[in-house]
Structure 1
Amino acid sequence: MLFGFGSAIVGGFLLTAVQNWTGVPGIKGPLLAVLAGSWLLGRGLIAFGASLPAVLVLIGDVLYLVMVAAAMAYPVIKAKMWRNLMFVPMLLMLALLNVASHVGIVRGDLGLSMSAIHGAVFVITLMIVIIGGRVVPFFTANGLGVPRVEAIRWVDAVSIISLLILLVSAFVGFSTLNAVFLAFVSLVAALANGYRFWRWQFWLCGKVPLLWSLHFAYAFVPFGFLTLFLYFINVVPTLSIALHALTVGAIGGMILSMISRVSLGHMGRPLKPVKIMSLAFGLILVSAIARVVIPWLFPSFTNVGIALAGVFWVLAYGIFCVVYGADFWKPRPDGRPG
């Protein structure tokens, strides 16, 4: 879900967005086919490579992220837009965490693999915090015709720095660090990101599905950090509950909302999804609630919560696939490249 599904979305979004940011044409044709093939190679090796040398599976799985980092770096460096270069080390960090997850499996060190996976959760969440700070106020202003909410630099800095501390702590291992320190950092991250979310005026977006879905997906960022805080003070029973607020709610919800919006724009369609997509947006949020709340408040029904979350997730993304799938194979009405 993180190094396969998550990395595919991250790569697709960044390589699409970097063309708009820099004005440099992105990869296409044979190069794009090679990139997509590298992703498929990694999935195939994970699924069917048990009899192959572990190092071959590792290289095949990590190759995609390294290639995405290179493809991201080229237009940024060519256009000298250095502020966007920060995504390259994030992609490489995700690749290194992927390597660590494989090394842990080979060595029989489950702790290393889990720390790598936890670190990956925070890397992708970091991308959401950075990109969300750009697109949520921008899309809200454009969609509603209201003034754009300007960022408060110190709030953004606190949001990112606290998240970076949690990222490093996750890889080192939460259990090896002081719980009071981790609780404090988690609370700071929750408050900073919660304040950002509040300033973006989510209450104005109730009639625009592509906006309210984006806002409420981001709401799971501060909620996830709040849940993490409660875990470190022994109110939430397991770390898994806190992390799934971020993975199912923030990451899953933000991905569904963004791909629904970006797909329409790049297919040359109006930014008005069919009504059933509102159900899909709602289902992914219900999935997150089921995954977090049921295991937290009703521990004996944990498996029920996980099953319900999985069903709602599949329904939400299934609706997207049915609604958008056929249009992906059609040319844009205006004849422009997608």
Structure 2
Amino acid sequence: MQNPEPLQTTQRPQPQLSAFLGMGFRPLYPAGTFWAAASIGIWIFAPRLASGTLAGPAWHAHEMLWGFVATMAVGFLMTAGATWTGINPMHGKTLALACLLWAIARIGFLCASPLGFVIAAASELTFFALAAAALGRAVHTARNRRNYGIPWLVLALGAADGLYLLAAWQGDYSLLMQRFDAGLLCMAVIALLITRRVIPFFAMRAVEGLKIPMHERSGQWQLAAGALAVLFTLLQWHFALALALACTAFLCGVQLLDWKPLAVRRRPILWILYVGHACLGIGLLLAALHSLGLIERAAIHVHVLAIGGFSVLIVGMMTRTALGHLGRPLVLDRMSKACYCLMLAAFVLRLIALALSNASWVALQLAAVAWIGAFALYLWRFVPMMIRPVPERGGPAKVLIKRS
């Protein structure tokens, strides 16, 4: 009797460095995600490790905004920029250099010596300049006029970082917080630009028959109001700042309602983005009230923006981007859904910690555990995909990106 022919199976591709450095999101998403978990672990459970020139709350604020959130934004814009322009802005050795600069900055800011701080600051600012230059080259080579402003936004984010680090070096805490607010609003402008583009695009592709506006006109007004808010923050014009923030928040609400949130309630990969966009609007409104002196604690609007807005959007965009660009079906498994739930739990627990003085430490620790758990799940699920080429079989058709 003859042996049956063996079944043909598709072998899993082997890890490849060229694949890992093929697009910006592949190394930057895992790096930023790992640091998001590690830095919160340090801040909550081992704060003595952050005792350098940039120490205590100043280190925590900086690493969350520029070490994590801004890094993830750069990773996304590098990937989206390739789709928008047909040119991969950064890959291979250039991308490896950017990642090395980013890693040197993370280590340097933990060093106790002033020299470590200087090296870290120089590395980080070079990272943002390199990212802005790569994006600028891609959009100008492609004559992609619609995105000419994006490299300048990344450069502004890096400039705010430089001003923040200068204030830290000088030991001026009030100036430090003013410049942190400027950086926070720069990041909010970038986040709103991204969500305004991707939410309606993703939703209309995923929900059959759904027609919602892209809000290009309101997005231009929103961008202008957000840019003015950054300027008014630096000038300390509080009433004008509150007005600009309120206008930006109002446009968030208009956009959200026009995007028919109930239509995506059964699709977690979409509604997580709606939640993040809503929290951006709420956070900006709270910031306006804080600017008028109606809310005393700045930590409230900062954490609504940073966790409910930026971080919720990040976990949603990381899963969507990774699945789409790695040739996988846009379907969430239980691990990805658990990641969403843990991030939302971290957000709620952090707000509870701000509201309840008696249980604040317990709630803060639980929020940290949920936060770390969310990013650990993402790393476990997606890093094995990031280090391998896109499978030849299965998943959506690949989009060819020109490399230059």
Equivalent of residue 237 in structure 2, options 162, 168, 177 = 177
Q: Deviations over 1:307-334 (max 9, x none)?
A: 3332221121121112212222232112
Q: Which amino acid aligns with 1:332?
A: V
* Pair 1:277 & 2:340 matched: no
Q: Which has the higher contact order (CA 8 A, sep 6+)?
A: 2
How far apart in 1 are the matches of 2:358 and 2:288? 23
How far apart in 1 are the matches of 2:257 and 2:149? 26
CA contact (8 A) 1:223 1:245 kept: yes
Alignment size in residue pairs: 333
Equivalent of residue 132 in structure 1, options 177, 195, 202 = 195
- Hey, what does 2:389 align to over in structure 1? 331
CA displacement at 1:300 relative to structure 2: 4.4
CA 33–78 in structure 1, closer or farther in 2 if over 3 Å, else same: same
How far apart in 2 are the matches of 1:6 and 1:29? 23
CA contact (8 A) 2:233 2:241 kept: no
CA contact (8 A) 1:277 1:320 kept: yes
Q: Which amino acid aligns with 1:253?
A: V
Residue pairs, 1:1-338, within 5 angstroms = 1-48=64-111, 50-52=113-115, 54-172=117-235, 176-178=236-238, 180-296=239-355, 298-334=356-392
How far apart in 1 are the matches of 2:177 and 2:350? 19
CA 96–147 in structure 1, closer or farther in 2 if over 3 Å, else same: same
Look up the SS of the partner of 1:47 in the other structure: coil
CA displacement at 1:233 relative to structure 2: 5.0
Q: Deviations over 1:16-38 (max 9, x none)?
A: 11111111233322222112112
Q: Which amino acid aligns with 2:198?
A: V
How far apart in 2 are the matches of 1:240 and 1:166? 18
CA displacement at 1:193 relative to structure 2: 0.7
Give the gaps of 5 or more residues in structure 2.
Answer: 1-63
Look up the SS of the partner of 2:109 in the other structure: helix
Pick which of 315-324 and 234-243 moved more: 234-243
CA contact (8 A) 1:295 1:301 kept: no
CA RMSD, 1 decimal: 2.2
CA 207–159 in structure 1, closer or farther in 2 if over 3 Å, else same: same
How far apart in 2 are the matches of 1:185 and 1:304? 36
Look up the SS of the partner of 1:125 in the other structure: helix
TM-score computed with the length of structure 1 as normaliser: 0.90
Q: Deviations over 1:130-150 (max 9, x none)?
A: 111110000000011234422
TM-score computed with the length of structure 2 as normaliser: 0.76
CA displacement at 1:236 relative to structure 2: 3.2
CA contact (8 A) 2:277 2:309 kept: yes
How far apart in 2 are the matches of 1:54 and 1:9? 22
CA displacement at 1:227 relative to structure 2: 2.0
CA displacement at 1:292 relative to structure 2: 2.9
Q: Deviations over 1:165-212 (max 9, x none)?
A: 22223334xxx434x444433332222111111111111112211101
CA contact (8 A) 1:162 1:186 kept: yes
CA 53–231 in structure 1, closer or farther in 2 if over 3 Å, else same: closer
Q: Which amino acid aligns with 1:13?
A: F
Give the gaps of 5 or more residues in structure 1.
Answer: none
Look up the SS of the partner of 2:110 in the other structure: helix
Q: Which amino acid aligns with 1:280?
A: C
- Bigger helix share: 1
How far apart in 2 are the matches of 1:285 and 1:58? 32
Aligned identity (percent) is: 23
CA 294–42 in structure 1, closer or farther in 2 if over 3 Å, else same: closer
Look up the SS of the partner of 1:268 in the other structure: coil
How far apart in 2 are the matches of 1:265 and 1:226? 33
For the pair shown, which has the larger CA radius of gyration, 1 or 2?
2
